[in-house]
């Protein structure tokens, strides 16, 4: 009797801990079934939903609408994973990191962001224009590189988000670093990267900044650091 009760309590606790953000008894898509059948994915799904709600809470209507549009676009990209659990896990972990970062302070440094940033393995141009952020970068990964055109990020929460086709890049300021993340790594890789290079997250120290008037002269990989 004690063993049966112990097993019952363990199963109940596991089920509660692994509950997704939606009712799994009504799961209808391949993605929903994959999430509901994997406790780790279910927990990630719940964490993303909670972080999304926290990020929107207390924001003005225009910002809430931006978060909603971004979340819908991310869900569409996530659904492209189908039943691939590795893909789903990566998509949700990246989205969770982006949502958490959106709540962090991102006030521009006293002398602004505009400049050319050079660090080992990365070059980045940045220009703050009103509430928007123009940027491009080249970063080396896996002996190949990822390079973007000049993108414009719109202010969403405490960071900026640039959308180019199916690729979304989020820029935040966290302590001494400018951080670039994506919650659509497959789309960004296809758009910008060589065979073995990937974009998930990279940090550019603010101390790497060279304050130039126009940081976008030539391609990112052609600029003199």
Query: Which tens digit of pLDDT belongs to each residue from 49-65?
Result: 999 999 888 888 877 88
The percent of residues above 70 in pLDDT, for the chain, comes to 87
Return contacts of 131-139, CB within 8 angstroms, 24+ apart.
Answer: 131/155, 132/160, 133/160, 133/162, 133/171, 134/216, 135/162, 135/171, 136/216, 136/220, 137/180, 137/204, 137/220, 138/219, 138/220, 138/221, 139/197, 139/199, 139/202
The residue among 11 and 106 whose pLDDT is bigger is 106
Mean pLDDT on 70-94:
87
Average pLDDT over all residues of the chain: 83
The pLDDT score that the predictor gives to residue 146 is 93
Please determine, for residue 24, whether its predicted confidence score (pLDDT) is greater than 90.
Answer: yes
Q: Is the pLDDT of residue 142 over 50?
A: yes
Query: Any long-range contacts for 94-98 (C-beta under 8 Å, 24+ apart)?
Result: 94/181, 94/182, 94/183, 94/184, 94/185, 94/200, 94/201, 95/48, 95/183, 96/44, 96/47, 96/48, 96/51, 97/181, 97/183, 97/201, 98/170, 98/181, 98/182, 98/183
pTM here is: 0.62
Is the pLDDT score of 43 beyond 70?
yes
At 191, the pLDDT band (50, 70, 90 cuts) reads very high
């Amino acid at each position: 009797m004690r063993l049966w009760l112990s097993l019952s309590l363990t199963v109940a606790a596991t089920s509660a801990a692994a509950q997704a953000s939606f009712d799994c008894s009504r799961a209808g898509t391949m993605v929903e079934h994959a999430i509901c059948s994997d406790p780790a994915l279910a927990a990630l799904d719940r964490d993303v939903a909670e972080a999304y709600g926290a990020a929107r809470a207390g924001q003005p209507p225009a910002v809430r609408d931006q978060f909603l549009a971004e979340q819908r676009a991310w869900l569409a990209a996530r659904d492209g994973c189908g039943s691939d659990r590795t893909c789903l896990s990566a998509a949700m972990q990246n989205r969770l990191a982006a949502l958490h970062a959106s709540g962090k302070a991102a006030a521009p440094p006293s002398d602004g962001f505009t400049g050319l940033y050079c660090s080992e393995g990365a070059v980045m141009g940045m220009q703050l224009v009103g509430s928007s952020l123009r940027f491009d970068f080249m970063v080396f990964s896996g002996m190949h590189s990822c390079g973007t055109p000049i993108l414009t990020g719109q202010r969403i929460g405490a960071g900026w988000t640039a959308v180019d086709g199916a690729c979304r890049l989020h820029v935040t300021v966290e302590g001494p670093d400018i951080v670039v993340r994506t919650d659509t790594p497959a789309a960004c890789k296809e758009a910008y990267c060589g065979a073995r290079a990937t974009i998930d997250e990279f940090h550019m120290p603010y101390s790497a900044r060279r304050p130039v008037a126009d940081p976008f002269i030539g391609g990112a990989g052609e600029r003199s650091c």
